[in-house]
């Protein structure tokens, strides 16, 4: 398998939304890295459309769940149904047993629902009563969330945030892009949309993942990745302001994610080995949801992206 085999997937997504190339790249990197993606942005920025387009371009079952404050854990994982004719309980699987799951506005649901999603994301299984059920080999959660400043939203637990491989931030389009959005909407109103004739087969996707995993990553870059993650925990060693801004750094999952996603980024670019710029390209999406800034940083208007970009400029590149 080669990066050219992934081009139909990219083209299909790009045909449904205008711009947002970085967001599309993040979805493809997560797909190749066997991870989950958290997407944040204001309503109306085509987050859901993009995720549905990815699901259409990949072979497998797709399900969308609208997260609401009254959602129950059983609405996600399923429940045991009593069968009178058999005199026993039978498990009826919930939406989590689909291959691609869109968790729309995930931060509008309470903690109990988030905990049900946590096991599925972390262990590819769910537990109901005394029994544990494995999830499909291809299982990917793409969750959208609105900024927490909006009414009716909750902060996701740090443990759940850490299970997301990457967090993409979708911003407003430019003026030219918005004009193209109007043209695209006019065309779609006149024609019936058809999904791709031949979605990417799961066997092909798994072959791509093996190729990504086998891409060369120099031991010196292992050290660079660890240095970056360690720097989020002891930032004052590099800069006094960074030390004031960060309360908690990234976990070892961030190191694993940087290595996996850098390989995927290099493979998509058609390179035969990972270079430092591949690590730097994926670092913001991997680190931004794993850092907890201080109140002092928030008062000064410092964002996690500001912190990460400054850190990338200070940690030595091998």
Statement to judge: residues 227 and 163 lie in one domain: no
On whether residue 70 sits in a domain, the answer given is yes
Task: Give the CB-side neighbour count of residue 243, counting CA atoms within 13 A.
Answer: 6
pLDDT tens sequence for the chain (318 residues): 788 889 999 988 888 888 888 999 999 999 999 999 999 888 888 888 888 889 889 998 889 999 888 888 888 888 888 888 877 888 888 889 999 999 988 888 887 888 888 888 888 988 887 788 899 999 999 998 877 655 666 778 788 888 899 999 988 888 998 888 888 888 777 666 666 778 999 999 999 999 999 999 999 999 999 999 999 999 999 888 888 999 899 999 999 999 999 999 999 999 999 999 999 999 999 999 999 998 998 888 889 999 999 999 999 998
Number of domains in the chain: 2
10 Å Cβ neighbour count for 189? 7
On whether residue 207 sits in a domain, the answer given is no
pTM of the model: 0.89
Q: What is the CATH number of the domain that holds 255?
A: 1.10.8.80
Statement to judge: residues 85 and 233 lie in one domain: no
Q: Are 13 and 141 in contact (CB under 8 A)?
A: no
On whether residue 90 sits in a domain, the answer given is yes
Angle (nearest 5°) at CA 161 between 22 and 274: 45
On whether residue 201 sits in a domain, the answer given is no
Q: What is the CATH number of the domain that holds 103?
A: 3.40.50.300
Report the distance separating Cα 293 and Cα 307, nearest Å.
9
What does DSSP assign to residue 316?
P
Rg of the chain over all Cα atoms, to the nearest angstrom: 21
Statement to judge: residues 108 and 226 lie in one domain: no
Report the distance separating Cα 271 and Cα 217, nearest Å.
11
What does DSSP assign to residue 138?
S
Residues near 114 by Cβ (< 8 Å), separated by ≥ 6?
106, 156, 157, 160
Q: Which domain holds residue 287?
A: 215-314
Angle (nearest 5°) at CA 236 between 231 and 241: 115
Cα 263 from chain centroid? 16
Q: Is the dihedral of CA 32, 33, 35, 40 positive or negative?
A: negative
Beta partners for residue 216, in sequence order: 273
Task: Give the CB-side neighbour count of residue 255, counting CA atoms within 13 A.
Answer: 16
Q: Are 76 and 96 in contact (CB under 8 A)?
A: yes
Statement to judge: residues 94 and 12 lie in one domain: yes
Report the distance separating Cα 241 and Cα 207, nearest Å.
45
pLDDT at 111: 79
């Amino acid at each position: 398998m080669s990066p050219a085999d992934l081009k139909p997937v990219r083209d299909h997504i790009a045909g449904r939304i205008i711009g947002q190339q970085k967001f599309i790249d993040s979805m493809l990197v997560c797909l190749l890295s066997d991870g989950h993606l958290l997407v944040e942005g204001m309503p109306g920025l085509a987050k859901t459309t993009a995720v549905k387009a990815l699901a259409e371009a990949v072979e497998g079952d797709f399900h969308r769940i609208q997260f609401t404050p009254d959602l129950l854990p059983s609405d996600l994982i399923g429940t045991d149904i009593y069968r009178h004719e058999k005199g026993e309980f039978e498990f009826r699987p919930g939406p989590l047993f689909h291959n691609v799951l869109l968790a729309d506005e995930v931060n509008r649901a309470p903690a109990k629902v988030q905990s049900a999603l946590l096991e599925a994301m972390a262990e590819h299984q769910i537990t109901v009563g005394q029994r544990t059920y494995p999830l499909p080999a291809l299982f990917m959660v793409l969750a959208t969330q609105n900024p927490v400043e909006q009414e009716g939203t909750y902060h996701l637990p740090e443990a759940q945030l850490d299970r997301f491989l990457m967090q993409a931030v979708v911003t407003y389009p430019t003026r030219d892009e918005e004009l193209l959005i109007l043209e695209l909407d006019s065309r779609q109103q006149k024609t019936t949309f058809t999904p791709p004739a031949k979605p990417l087969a799961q066997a092909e996707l798994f072959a791509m993942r093996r190729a990504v995993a086998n891409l060369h990553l120099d031991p010196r870059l292992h050290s660079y990745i660890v240095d970056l993650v360690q720097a989020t925990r002891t930032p004052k060693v590099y800069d006094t302001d960074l030390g004031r801004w960060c309360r908690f750094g990234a976990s070892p999952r961030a190191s694993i994610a940087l290595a996996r996603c850098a390989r995927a980024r290099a493979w998509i670019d058609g390179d035969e080995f990972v270079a430092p710029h591949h690590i730097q390209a994926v670092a913001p999406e991997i680190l931004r949801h794993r850092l907890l800034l201080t109140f002092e940083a928030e008062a000064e208007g410092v964002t996690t992206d500001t912190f990460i970009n400054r850190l990338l400029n200070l940690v030595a590149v091998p």
